[in-house]
A and B are shown apart, each in its own frame.
Chain A
């Protein structure tokens, strides 16, 4: 059980302001971060993860200030960022690096508990039988699931995911999202997932944080996600185009009636 609190977060890159004074608090939920490209979703996740230093503002996890990368925060990247030449098992085991010395990790002398945890994480994402497979031989969806397993081995309180399904086909995207949600539930981790497919977001999200031009547009529950809110965030044209595209490529239908144009 953990609480993420973001207070007055601001990030500027030179003249460009990516985030302006954003504050919100989430607790034990599967939260979806919504917004157009360039709205500041990635910057937000990178700030929380410690990959980017915020210009000002504070981030707290369970009341403790977060700074730098730490094992309690697991990150899932759009391009999965796995080491492609080695097995899924060894990639998952990287999540346990924090608990091993350099020599131990070089020779895979990790605790048996960590080794079993890596395999359990792969089991959670449905890849136990493929554990010995080289990641480069796996499909994009499977690779992303290995990415989830790696984050799980860290035993995180907070799971971050930056557009985890953006480069996947609709069917794989749904599988990956299902496993991501299962992973967060099993590990009782708070999840913050940025997505740009509104239908996927509406299907899996329990809470929605919207960003527009680096500002907080909304921080709402499932019941409050209305078509107006989405239109407001993306602009009418974009949403309609989005709905049309999904209708054409046969991706899963929008589950939530309120988000259907």
Chain B
């Protein structure tokens, strides 16, 4: 190893790989690595500056300011008192749950939940055939390359318009109503679920398809028995996932007037009834949580069954076993 230079500038030059560290192959390589690192650092610096400029621009356009946060924070704290009305139970301070409950009964939020889930369910089921048709036809395995893009393009156009905007488009057809919301979800499901179907079909194995074709089956028989039967379980799992997604979409559609929980939430927001708003939000959390749990269970049942171990355990046992499983996999 060569003696290290005493001057500070010499050391800095060494650090950035601008001065030779020594004559041996290993020392030359270390110099080269330092130089490469200097180049990488320069690029990182350029990227960091670009990111900072972009962020500054975005904050400006989004009118995001810390001043607003500071100025209106006391107001938000006041609202929190409305969101979670305080009371005491036997001298212990707690949230006044009775106020929520009274509102839930008065507005019959259970009925509203049924409306929301119905919009999602009907939309999913009616949208399903369209999704299946477009999804299968968009697959390169079914329709040869340039032509399958017609169907892909159709689906991506549908997806580029959010469900909320679809509902706005259909207002002339059904007014601002649950019916319009259902229409929007039907169209949204066609584009969204169809895409998931296509992706699933692109990944299937060629073997079984050739196996079915070799028996002399015609094209549609090959697609049905060679392809669709391979992905049947995955399709069911995706349908469950999209149903779950659609319940959340149905809630947001309610905000523009398409009925259900979202509509009640919006009405309370307009009248600044924060306690009632929070009651709605609690029901929403419970509802989407339940739907998600059911859909997760269905999907994990399908997965386990695929591995040949049918899952018939009760809900309680799952609650008990899940933390243990997480701990086990974390320790592995």
Contact = CB atoms under 8 A, between A and B. Distances in A.
A119 B36 contact: no
Nearest to B36: A132
Contacts of B29: 119, 128-129, 131
Dominant SS among interface residues on chain B: helix
Interface string B27-42: 1011011001000000
A229 interface: no
A120 B32 contact: no
Contact residues of A: prevailing secondary structure: helix
B25 interface: yes
Nearest to B14: A112
Interface string A98-117: 00000000000000110110
Contacts of B25: 123, 128
Contacts of A234: none
A58 to B, nearest CB: 27
Nearest to B1: A116
Contacts of A119: 26, 29-30, 33
A123 B1 contact: no
Interface residues of B, number: 10
Interface string B166-200: 00000000000000000000000000000000000
A132 B32 contact: yes
A89 B25 CA distance: 14
A113 B26 CA distance: 11
Contacts of B1: 112-113, 116
Interface string B15-28: 00000010001110
A132 B26 contact: no
A120 B24 CA distance: 10
B27 A131 contact: no
Given A112-B1, A116-B1, A123 B26 contact: yes
A96 to B, nearest CB: 14
Contacts of B26: 116, 119-120, 123, 128
B201 to A, nearest CB: 30
Interface in A199-224: none
A116 B27 CA distance: 7
A98 to B, nearest CB: 20
A235 B1 CA distance: 54
B111 to A, nearest CB: 54
Among B21, B25, B26, B30, chain A packs the most CB atoms within 10 A around the CB of: B26
Given A112-B1, A116-B1, A132 B27 contact: no
12 contacts: A89-B33, A115-B30, A116-B30, A119-B26, A119-B29, A123-B25, A128-B25, A129-B29, A131-B29, A131-B33, A132-B33, A132-B36
Q: Which 4 A/B pairs are nearest by Cβ-Cβ distance?
A: A119-B26, A119-B29, A120-B26, A128-B29
Given A112-B30, A129-B29, A132-B32, 15 more contacts: A89-B33, A112-B21, A113-B1, A115-B30, A116-B1, A116-B26, A116-B27, A116-B30, A119-B26, A119-B29, A123-B26, A128-B26, A128-B29, A132-B33, A132-B36
Interface of B: 1, 21, 25-27, 29-30, 32-33, 36
